[in-house]
Amino acid sequence: MEKVYDVIIVGAGPAGLSAALYAGRAKLSTLVLEGTKVGGQIAITSEVDNYPGSMEDATGPSLTARMVDQAKRFGAEMVSDSVVGTDFKDKVKIVKGEKADYKGRSVIIATGANPRQIGCPGEKELTGKGVSYCATCDADFFEGLEIFVVGGGDTAVEEAIFLAKFARKVTIVHRRDELRAAKYLQEKVFEHPKIEIMWNSVIVDIKGDGLVESAVFHNRETGETTEIKADEDDGTFGIFVLVGYEPVTEVFKGCIDTDESGYIIADSRMRTNVEGVFAAGDVRVKTLRQVVTATADGAIAAVEAEKYLGE
């Protein structure tokens, strides 16, 4: 007979893995569907220094690896499959994957969010060829080269500081005249000898034949447009696009309520509009998207799923 899990967790970032730990410890049969990348956003984060108790040299991947081990130790099963659809009509809910369908008495959606793109010509074509969305993954390739970081939030500023360890020079390209990032991060970049800021600017075109060779910058205040070409000796430079995230909720559209930006609406007990379906972490409407709030959401969702199953 096909297995019906007590809880199916969709997503293996901090929220999903924390839910798996709590569900496993509560002796619920637990399946985690991990999609394409385990760890969610922290898997591509270079330093995690604001998660209480994390070690000084903690990285996203190392924290993720420990969370996975811990969840498995308490019995959570992990399957790599991308969710393509759902059927939440009945008590037993169906999560449809690319490889198989999975049945559960409750579901926790912890699919997080994906990096947003700038949307300019050349961005897509040159992704992986100079354009990157992940400093941890790609910093190595730009050792000694120039790097442009697009964005003005915590991610852009934090990763600009990280990238400056590799690059000859880092320029933060921000569309306004004020950074959104936390003040302590701003102070770090303002006094960093290798980091400059290009204010009121956006990239409108990225050019190159197989590798990024130049980019066109538009100053929104002066209206001026400038093309910056790679240094002749370098031949290329890096463009790290770190302009926020978009929730991964496409497959739940139509059955789970979201806000206008696509984030899932859940109450403080992580309950969505569908009984037995919970949402946790960056995927839900909330004011602070951090590892610490994601793990807290995951714990609450698992405890609420346990209560729901007991009713």
Which residues are marked as active site? 134, 137-138
Residue 176 in the binding site for ligand NAP (CB under 6 A): yes
In angstroms, what is the minimal distance from the CB of 92 to ligand NAP? 35
Q: Which x/- pattern over 39-78 shows residues binding ligand NAP (rule: CB under 6 A)?
A: -----------x----------------------------
Separate counts of helices (H) and strands (E) for the chain: 6, 17
Least distance to ligand NAP, CB of residue 28, Å: 30
CB of 211 closer than 8 Å to CB of 129: yes
Contact call for residue 118 and ligand NAP (CB under 6 A): yes
Place of tokens 């839910």: 19
Nearest distance in Å: CB 113, ligand NAP: 8
CB 9 within 8 A of CB 112: no
CA distance 107 to 94: 9
- Asked if 120 touches ligand NAP (CB under 6 A), the answer is no
Does 180 sit near ligand NAP (CB under 6 A)? yes
Rounded to a whole number of angstroms, the distance between the first and last alpha carbons of the chain is 25
The partner residues of 122 in beta bridges, in order of sequence, read: none
Amino acid at 62: S
The count of residues interacting with ligand NAP (CB under 6 A) is 21
| Rounded (5°) CA angle 38-16-242 | 55
Binding residue (CB under 6 A) for ligand NAP from 166, 289, 293, 299: 289
Summarize as ranges the residues that interact with ligand NAP (CB under 6 A): 50, 116, 118, 150-156, 158, 175-176, 180, 202, 242-245, 289-290
